[in-house]
Structure 1
């Protein structure tokens, strides 16, 4: 049911400060659970999957959530245009809550993976709709402030997620990871139900549904599933050259091509509101920015997913301890983002991104050089600080590039696309690392473990404590060598991103947008499209304003 018609501008102007603050609190809590559920489970993966005797499927608890979280970002944002913002955000909050409880009640690994995928749809909606709500409900002059308040969620979620997941896993029942969402989401629903106004442009739901790109939406969630399945299972349950792996990966690529062709037709040949307007790809800056963000997602998610598993498998720490050891990364990421915001006043965003990608590469390279024995080197903390700072430093420039190279009408879909490619990059990286890990384990463990023991090690960590001391140390070294190889692969992709960052700087310099920033130009507009002044011929930018970089 759509929200009751009302004048959006009048609603925003007449909203009391108390109601606005209640709405912001509700949005903050919604985004908090959405963001935290991407990381809170990472430090509990080994214990959860071992309980189900399915250690080789552990990464799917993260990948399943990321897959749907990534695939539904744009669809859920657009759904608010059909059924109304309030009804949509409340419905998806309830959806997220239901499948959080389903995860807590799962009796098999398959059930848990399926429920995590469905929970990811709700998390994706909360992520996208929170920022839609800020743009629609907050006075333009205060959007920056309230966006910053809500965005503080990510720093806290990244900080608390792994630690809280480890504490819960070690000291209570891992199911509390999902049970705790109940009171948080319930509070958010109550706040939004009471305080959030109904917004409408006066059209009926039927009229608004006519322009919705239903086919594009279906295609957008169909191609990642077979592609990620192939990457995840290759070398684990199926050989790389098996019919199942080749078939699923080819299917994923074909569906991606079909999605691209359909969106091209919808953009240029119909009056549909295309899910992904292909005109965005006419701008070289936008294309390069999306590619770079995809590559950034790879080290970002590798840190928060693979590193805690390394601490437990190589250094034999508890899940709780693994979360604490991850603190240098989680603490430095928001610090890097703040520093990037300060640097933007004096240094062009292009230079900031080049510095950030270089810093990430140095950090990943250092982490890949860690010893493979059980002792935790003190250098680990310094290497994490470098990597975390670089990851935070990299985030702000992408939005500056986006908003100074696209039309105002594409700002929301552009933002959703950036979030989508970063998450997809992370999912691909995790899948590649997992496939590489299982391949290397099969080779490395064969020297001192029987086939039955190797199978047990892949399924559960329960065997480790029963092994002789020497075999246990050798096992840790094999795991350490595997994680070293994984980080070396991620290092190569991070170095590639350095090259892409330099290319972005060159493209923007030729286009005359180097060093420009998005700005508000009028009180009643969030952003305003302006003609670019300088070479590149007719490219339009959003609120471009020159700066000396």
Structure 2
């Protein structure tokens, strides 16, 4: 009698998957809505923060509104992936949506900053499961050969959310109040929950209940917490060489070493170490980190250039970022369809990273007098590169790992990308702030309070209250200090292209994992 395959219960029989095209379409819409919620909530709060902290009287805790969500969602990424493999993805996915909705409702009703930070953490616990659950379910129900075009659509959600989030957050704050930045999630989330509940049919795992990897999960949570706090605080709240940052670095190293030893002995490790013996996991995951660093560096700091140098509003700066989104949408969809048509994928991460490097190189040339069309061209090129590479890396990983660890592999790839991107933002941000401080202290504002160390208080609103000559000097300082960080990112993203060369080209199956697993069970029974 054959032994059950780990994770086999997460794959539905063909008859249960998308009984007709309409059912499948609604299932995919539900997954897209869930992905949009998770991606949107990472950016929608940014433009509402000044109003929120003013209303709740908590300026000193401002950064924690963002950090709490990021920390909780990062910790949850690999945990959701593994639990989905063991216990079935549909109930875990619905649980994540429900937690996210409860966190959203409570965040909107928060009476003080302590409550808001706690409820944002609850939102993040759900948000991590939304992203991984949707990607893993796509891996379950769509054949690898057909998955490219759907993966492209899902990847484009992140680009859309990066621009739509700040715009929507600003509009809601100005029109109906900041609480609707959180309440807007409720109708979208309920629609996603209901759609997935009704249309998605996945078999529940059978057999003996597996033992969870509690020790590995705890160590991973400690590692993730230290990593996110280090990347959030280093160079901003604390200096890179401060005891706090060095202490966090020690925690990162110690927990990483102990985690590896624990996972070697775990029956069901939260991140299977066998993944690191699979080249089509290691190289796509590493390439994803380098490309993610580049994308998030642009999203994080280019609006600052637009607002402080070109003197546009927050809303206008969001609209001016649209060329990058259009580039991402175009390349994500086109490369996905090309992979479905040809079955070949290896070229896209390499070419995408190289094109992204060209976009970063152009961004490194911008200055105070750069016309917008040049900036838009650079953003389009960067978007084309990122869109052509990022989402296809997930497809490569899912096509190369055993079915029983598909969720764990998908979540681990996203996890490392998020940790790496957070570190990149912290490093590039520290470089930018140091360069800006130097520019202000050595330029015409050397004797001015701003040039004497008031960099942290500079906002577009503050800039508008200063004399014209001072405004111009500050714009010149920003225009000089910021562009080099994009040049520093060029070798990082080109490293991603080099890593992509080591990805092995393998045939994409025309059979959904569900059908493949069923055939295996039939053959073993015979």
TM-score of the two chains, using structure 2 as the length reference: 0.83
Does the C-alpha gap of structure 1 residues 38 and 402 become closer, same or farther in structure 2, counting only changes over 3 Å? same
- The whole-number CA distance in structure 1 between the counterparts of 2:273 and 2:26 is 38
Q: Which residue is 1:349 aligned to?
A: 345
Q: Which residue of 2 aligns with 1:238?
A: 238
1:496 paired to 2:495: yes
Who is 2:474 aligned against? 475
* Distance in 2 separating the partners of 1:78 and 1:19: 27
- Higher RCO (C-alpha 8 Å, min separation 6): 2
Alignment of 1:108-507 (within 5 A): 112-135=116-139, 153-154=157-158, 156-158=160-162, 160-169=164-173, 171-196=175-200, 199-203=203-207, 207-208=208-209, 210-266=210-266, 272-344=267-339, 349-372=345-368, 376-399=371-394, 401-403=396-398, 405-446=400-441, 447-450=446-449, 454-455=453-454, 457-458=456-457, 461-502=460-501, 504=502
Q: Which residue, 82, 87, 98 being the options, matches 1:94?
A: 98
Q: Distance in 2 between matches of 1:63 and 1:427?
A: 11
Alpha-carbon separation, structure 1, partners of 2:268 and 2:156? 32
Could you give the per-residue CA deviations for residues 259-279 of structure 1, whole angstroms, max 9, x where no partner exists?
A: 22222232xxxxx11111111
Q: CA deviation at 1:295?
A: 0.9
The structural deviation recorded for 1:54 is 8.0
Instruction: Report the Cα distance in structure 2 between the residues aligned to 1:82 and 1:460, rounded to whole angstroms.
Output: 48
Instruction: Check conservation: 1:33, 1:181, Cα contact below 8 A.
Output: yes
Alignment match, 1:517:
507
**Superposition deviation, residue 521 in structure 1:** 4.8
Compared CA separation, residues 101 and 521, structure 1 to 2 (3 A): closer
- Cα distance in 2 for partners of 1:455, 1:34 equals 35
Secondary structure of the corresponding residue to residue 372 of structure 2: coil
Measure how far apart 1:44 and its partner are: 5.0
Which stretches in structure 2 are left out of the alignment for 5+ residues? 1-8, 521-526
**Cα distance in 2, alignment partners of residues 478 and 251 from structure 1:** 37
SS at match of 2:311: coil
Shift of 1:347: 9.5
1:343, 1:352 within 8 Å by CA — same for their partners in 2?
A: no
Q: Say which is worse superposed, 178-187 or 478-487, in terms of deviation.
A: 478-487
1:240 alignment partner, SS class: coil
Counterpart CA distance in 2 for 1:341 and 1:347 is: 10
Contact kept in structure 2, 1:407 and 1:529, CA below 8 Å: no
Q: For each residue in 1:281-322, what CA deviation from the matched residue of structure 2 results, as whole angstroms up to 9, or x when unmatched? A: 123443222211111110122222222233223222211101
- Further displaced range: 164-173 or 138-147: 138-147
Q: CA deviation at 1:142?
A: 7.9
**1:79–1:106 Cα change, 3 Å:** same
What residue is the counterpart of 2:70 in the other structure?
Answer: 66
Q: Provide the rounded CA distance (Å) in 2 between the counterparts of 1:341 and 1:348.
A: 10
Change (3 A) 1:52 1:495: farther
Aligned match for 1:32, one of 32, 36, 48? 36
177-186 vs 323-332, which deviates more? 177-186
Alpha-carbon distance in 2 for matches of 1:387, 1:332: 7
The RMSD of aligned alpha carbons is 3.8
Q: Does the CA contact (< 8 Å) of 1:42 and 1:304 recur in 2?
A: no
SS in 2 for 1:525: helix
Question: Secondary structure of 2:235's partner?
Answer: coil
Using the alignment, how far apart are the partners of 2:364 and 2:499 within structure 1? 22
**Distance in 2 of aligned mates of 1:125 and 1:7:** 18
* 1:121-150 residue CA offsets vs partner (Å, 9 max, x unmatched): 211111122234445567999877766666
1:516–1:199 distance in 2 versus 1, CA, 3 Å? closer
Gaps of 5+ in 1: 267-271, 531-549
Displacement of 1:352 in angstroms is 2.8
CA distance in 1, matches of 2:19, 2:511: 23
1:78 aligns with 2:82: yes
Relative to 1, partners in 2 of residues 1:86 and 1:519: Cα closer, same or farther, differing over 3 Å? closer
Cα distance between partner residues in 1 of 2:62 and 2:484: 19
Q: 1:155, 1:433 → 2: CA distance?
A: 21
C-alpha distance in structure 2 between counterparts of 1:413 and 1:7, whole Å: 15
Deviation at 1:338, TM superposition (A): 2.6
Q: Distance in 2 between matches of 1:11 and 1:101?
A: 37
Q: Is the 8 A contact 1:155 1:334 kept in 2?
A: yes
